Amino acid sequence: MTADATLAADIDACCRLTGTFTLRSGQVASEYFDKYLFESQPALLARVARQMVPLLPEDTELLGGLELGGVPIATMVSSLTGQPSLFVRKKAKEYGTCKLAEGPEVAGRRITLIEDVITTGGAVRDATAALREAGAIVEVVVCAIDRSPEGQNPLADVGLEVRPVLTKAQLDAVSR
């Protein structure tokens, strides 16, 4: 097996759950990739993060980890690359600094979003709109698992390129 196939097999064995699951999009699925099962395993998290590093655009200034699952991945990628990260909330907190993105200033900066799993891209779409409204340049999202239909970019409508470490097709190919 290649390194990618080995990672896919390990992620699949760790994270694929079967049953009836309602996704963030409202879609009902018969399987679910519980990304927290790999994110809570330091060795698997590090392997995913190492695979993300070459997917980052060269002009990335900040890594934007999306709440909640993108935060540990962005932190690990940041530790590998030395690039600063910020943590993007689902909505701005209503106290203290009232920030949506915790970390460095985003205006005028190129942010590569880091996400765990993308199916329809709803959370990424919301974060992109908010960051762009704050003056950030957001063009790429790197994700651990892209569950969207093969050959389709669920974020094309907002001008985002999706760069996955693994796709649903790769996980299906190694499913046990």
CATH assignment of 3-174, among 1.10.1740.10, 3.30.420.40, 3.40.50.2020, 3.40.250.10: 3.40.50.2020
Write phi, then psi, for 29 (nearest 5 degrees).
-125, 150
For residue range 19-77, list pLDDT tens digits in order.
Answer: 999 987 788 989 888 999 999 999 999 999 999 999 999 999 999 999 999 999 999 99
* DSSP states of 53-106: GGGS-TT--EEEEETTTHHHHHHHHHHHH---EEEE-SS--SSTT--SEESS--
pLDDT at 176: 61
pLDDT tens-digit profile of 80-89?
999 999 999 9
Q: Which helix (H) or strand (E) holds 19?
A: strand 16-22
pLDDT at 147 over 70: yes
Domain boundaries, the chain: 3-174
